[in-house]
């Protein structure tokens, strides 16, 4: 198999939801290729199919027709075990609401995916501490989520997403519940990690702060890809960016 530089490939994806008796077409033929190691933002108004596309890429949902390839593997072909494996080892998830497991400490949250991956306890703890150090929370490992601020919780979530050295980090509105400064810190952290570790970051967002760090911005509108812009084009048109949603 030729090593492809596409980490995610979406071909002609349609998705239809059944809402009561009405069929809603959330995605109407999306084609998308995402390069390894890039920082991608998926932008679009709510209801545009942005979240649906995002869930497809994350293997959280399957398309009605069309194919989604992650690392050249068609996710529709995977059974439950393989999907779980994919979620555990290949993809790291970051959520708008942080979704730190409340009953566990910061460190336990980070080591959980490593436990799933079969790592032994000591190695997982050591790596967990390193990851906490990496996101700047080295001294907070024993804290429970409710003892951490929103920004700190999101840092824990980032560390958790990195636990099994995934190829992709999926961030769903990672700054949506954070104030301006904290949001900027989180974005900078994501960007730095993406560069240092060669991780592909894909984030769905409303946040224009994200655009500055993105290698590519995918605009979704009415269930189709409106346009894909590289960073160079972005910086030219950045002046009128706020007029286009």
Cα–Cα distance for residue pair 159/191, rounded to 1 Å = 14
Q: What minimum distance in Å lies between the beta carbon of 159 and another protein?
A: 12
Smallest distance, another protein to C-beta of residue 234, A:
28
Distances (CA, A) of 80 to 22, 71, 76, 83, 84: 29, 18, 11, 5, 6
27, 13 contact by CB (below 8 A): yes
Q: Can residue 125 be called a binding residue for another protein (CB under 8 A)?
A: no
Q: Which of 60, 76, 129, 234 binds another protein (CB under 8 A)?
A: 60
Q: Is 87 in the site for another protein (CB under 8 A)?
A: yes
Whichever of 104 and 241 has its CB closer to another protein, that residue is 104
User: Does residue 14 touch another protein according to CB under 8 A?
Assistant: no
Does position 177 interact with another protein (CB under 8 A)? The reply is no
Backbone angles phi, psi at 119, to 5 degrees: -75, 145
Closest distance of CB 41 from another protein, Å: 20
Task: Provide the angle, in degrees to the nearest 10, between the axes of the packed helices 150-161 and 121-134.
Answer: 130
- Among residues 178 and 217, whose Cβ is nearest to another protein? 178
> What is the token pair recorded at 144?
């429970």
Asked if 1 interacts with another protein (CB under 8 A), we say yes
What distance in Å separates the CA atoms of residue 91 and residue 211, rounded to the nearest whole number?
22
Contact residue for another protein among 35, 78, 129, 228 (CB under 8 A): 78
Q: CA-to-CA distance for 135 and 25, rounded, in angstroms?
A: 39
Return the SS3 of 163. Answer: coil
Pick one of 16, 24, 95, 206: the residue that binds another protein (CB under 8 A).
95
Task: Report the interface residues with another protein, using CB under 8 A.
Answer: 1, 3, 55, 58, 60-61, 71-73, 78-82, 84-90, 93, 95, 97, 99-104, 112-113, 115-118, 160, 165, 167, 172, 198
């Amino acid at each position: 198999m030729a090593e492809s530089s596409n980490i995610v490939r979406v071909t002609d994806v349609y998705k239809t939801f059944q809402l009561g008796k009405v069929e809603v077409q959330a995605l109407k033929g999306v084609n998308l290729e995402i390069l390894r190691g890039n920082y991608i933002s998926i932008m679009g108004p709510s209801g545009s199919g942005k979240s649906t596309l995002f869930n497809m890429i994350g293997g959280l949902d399957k398309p009605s027709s069309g194919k989604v390839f992650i690392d050249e593997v068609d996710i529709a072909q995977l059974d439950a075990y393989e999907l779980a494996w994919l979620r555990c080892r290949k993809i790291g998830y970051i959520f708008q609401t942080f979704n730190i497991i409340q009953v566990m400490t910061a460190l336990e949250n980070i080591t959980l995916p490593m436990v799933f991956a079969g790592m032994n306890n000591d190695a997982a703890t050591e790596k967990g501490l390193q990851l906490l150090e990496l996101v700047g929370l080295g001294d907070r490992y024993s804290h429970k989520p409710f003892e951490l601020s929103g920004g700190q919780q999101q840092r824990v979530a980032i560390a958790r997403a990195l636990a099994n050295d995934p190829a992709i980090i999926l961030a769903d509105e990672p700054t949506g519940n954070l104030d301006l400064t904290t949001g900027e810190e989180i974005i900078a952290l994501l960007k730095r990690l993406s560069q240092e570790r060669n991780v592909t970051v894909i984030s769905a967002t409303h946040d224009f702060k994200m655009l500055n760090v993105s290698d590519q911005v995918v605009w979704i509108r009415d269930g189709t890809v409106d346009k894909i812009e590289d960073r160079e084009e972005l910086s030219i048109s950045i002046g009128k960016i706020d007029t286009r949603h």
